[in-house]
């Protein structure tokens, strides 16, 4: 098991869920968290977390199998190639674009989720009215977790 590509998530956040690899949002962040888990440097992050699971559901990939591939020390491009070959659902380029756009724009889709987002935003900075999606919230939370201002 190689940890050469692992970042220490006790020191900095994983890549934003907005960063794309092969057109997929979330994938680079999932790779970062899986690598950090292999290296024992996951910090307070979770792999697989809810966003990772959304990606794996879309692709019909098993999170543990994905983790095993990351554990083998593959680089980002090799992981993308593996994902494209191994996914139970092999989306067309337009499906990837559409799914990624939906995932990036997705807001809280239940009353309970809206309440969680409202509480989280209020705790970070109650005057922020621009935090509308889960990606917005993650980006701000990552920033604040490592000393930034909300």
Dig out the tokens for 50 from the structure: 């809810």
For range 7-29, the mean pLDDT:
97
Cis peptide before 110 (omega within 30 of 0): no
Domain spans of the chain, in order of start: 1-105, 107-150
What CA–CA distance (Å, rounded) separates 18 from 36?
A: 19
pLDDT at residue 1 is higher than 90: no
pTM over 0.95? The answer is no
> For 126-138, what is each residue's pLDDT tens digit?
888 888 888 998 9
pLDDT tens for 26-55 read 999 999 999 999 999 999 999 999 999 999
């Amino acid at each position: 098991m190689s940890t050469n590509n692992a970042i220490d998530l006790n020191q900095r956040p994983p890549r934003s869920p907005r960063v794309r690899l092969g057109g997929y949002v979330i994938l680079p962040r999932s790779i970062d968290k899986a690598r950090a888990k292999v290296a024992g440097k996951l910090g307070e992050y979770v792999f697989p977390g809810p966003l990772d699971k959304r990606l794996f559901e879309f692709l019909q990939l098993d999170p543990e199998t994905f983790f095993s591939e990351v554990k083998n020390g593959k680089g980002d491009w090799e992981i993308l190639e593996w994902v494209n070959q191994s996914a139970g659902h092999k989306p067309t380029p337009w499906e990837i674009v559409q799914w990624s756009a939906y995932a990036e724009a997705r807001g809280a889709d239940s009353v309970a989720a809206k309440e969680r987002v409202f509480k989280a935003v209020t705790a970070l900075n109650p005057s922020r009215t621009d935090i509308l999606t889960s990606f917005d919230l993650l980006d701000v939370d990552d920033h604040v977790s490592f000393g930034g201002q909300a």
